[in-house]
Amino acid sequence: MIVTVTANPSLDRTIAVDRLRRGEIHRAASDRVDPGGKGVNVSRALVANGHATRAVLTTGGHAGTELLDLLGEAGVPVEEVPVSQGVRSNLTIAEADGTVTKLNESGPALRPTEIEELLVAAIAPTLDRPASWIAGCGSLPPGVGPDFYALLVERTRNAGARAAVDTSGPAFAESLRARPDLVKPNRDELAEAARTPIATLGDAVRAAQALRDQGASAVLASLGADGAILVDAAGVHHARAPLAGPVASTVGAGDAALAGFLAAGGAGPDALAAAVAWGTAAVALPGSIMPAPADIDLAAVEVTAAPDPDLVLR
């Protein structure tokens, strides 16, 4: 079983417009609501592919009730931590050419007791059934200190599971000191952590290696249209896959990629290939719909050991 922990889940509203024009009224070509938050999406992708998971998340307010209803409809098993303020709503504006603009709320402030309840709930599923991974994903809402993921990694290790972290900023930097088994930065997060732009594959590999030096055992760095790299004790691998059709929405592609990686064992080039297959499948689907087996083409993924460091990223 793979447990996901989302301190700041969301209702993801997606409004499709032909083209976004600042300052103007737009009429939606279509709209949808998906359950959201990075860990929630990882669990949704795992369920869509028949893998055992449990999504640990905070809930509150009417949005929290709607989020739980949507997760129930999707068959996602949930470990709920009720909190006093309501779950946030995040808005995506999706343009016809595939451009997405995201407006994310900061989320409800958590009290110290609620933070501790969330950490306890994160480990609770392992009391019934062993967990291979506990993945802490997404931004932290107000009131939660940047040591949250470091604490989660420590408690994960004590519970006998492996720890994955997908976040950004100070919470990401602090998580490294607890030595997570896996981190999943995207290109922006790599650049932020390395304090340098990532223009080439070599830049990405160097930044990932720096994260390993700071404590991460393995780094799965997703690079958008350029696929993903895995940097671990065995070396460096790069994987990418052609996109079969137009980009529908990149929202949640990184979460689908992390889910694919963990579902395929959470280590090595085969798991990297699965990450890219699941991520590529996700971008062809609207909103943050997670790919099912029929959407995923593992055979289309090309994996390279010792890739060209001079490859310029798109």
Three-state DSSP at 37 gives coil
Three-state DSSP at 158 gives helix
In the complex, the smallest distance separating the C-beta of residue 268 from ligand ATP, rounded to whole angstroms, is: 16
Binder of ligand ATP out of 223, 271, 290, 296 (CB under 6 A):
223
d(CA 196, CA 203): 9
**Contacts within 8 Å (CB) and 24+ apart, 114-119:** 114/58, 114/81, 114/83, 114/84, 115/7, 115/143, 115/144, 115/148, 117/81, 118/5, 118/7, 118/56, 118/58, 118/81, 119/148, 119/151, 119/152, 119/155
- Which position has the token pair 């160097």? 206
- Which position has the token pair 């990223």? 313
Could you say whether residue 251 binds ligand ATP (CB under 6 A)?
A: yes
Q: From ligand F1X, ligand ATP, none, which one binds at residue 104 (CB under 5 to 8 Å depending on kind)?
A: ligand F1X
Catalytic residues: 255
In the complex, the smallest distance separating the C-beta of residue 310 from ligand F1X, rounded to whole angstroms, is: 30
Cα separation values, 231 from 77, 89, 92, 307, Å = 32, 34, 31, 11
Cβ distance to ligand F1X smaller for residue 134 or 159: 134
Binder of ligand ATP out of 43, 280, 290, 295 (CB under 6 A):
280
Could you say whether residue 175 binds ligand F1X (CB under 6 A)?
A: no
In the complex, the smallest distance separating the C-beta of residue 52 from ligand ATP, rounded to whole angstroms, is: 22
Could you say whether residue 38 binds ligand F1X (CB under 6 A)?
A: yes
d(CA 261, CA 247): 21
Count of positions on this chain that bind ligand F1X (CB under 6 A): 17
Cβ distance to ligand ATP smaller for residue 87 or 259: 259
In the complex, the smallest distance separating the C-beta of residue 235 from ligand F1X, rounded to whole angstroms, is: 28
d(CA 312, CA 70): 40
Contact string (CB under 6 A) for ligand ATP, positions 178-207, x = contact: --------x---------------------
β-partners of residue 162 are 133
Contacts of 294 (CB under 8 A, 6+ apart): none
Touching ligand F1X, residues 77-106 (CB under 6 A): 90, 102, 104
**8 Å CB contact between 226 and 313:** yes
Count of positions on this chain that bind ligand ATP (CB under 6 A): 20
**Site of interaction with ligand F1X (CB under 6 A):** 8, 10, 12, 36-38, 41, 90, 102, 104, 138-139, 251-252, 254-255, 288
**Site of interaction with ligand ATP (CB under 6 A):** 186, 222-225, 227-228, 243, 247, 250-255, 257, 276, 279-280, 283
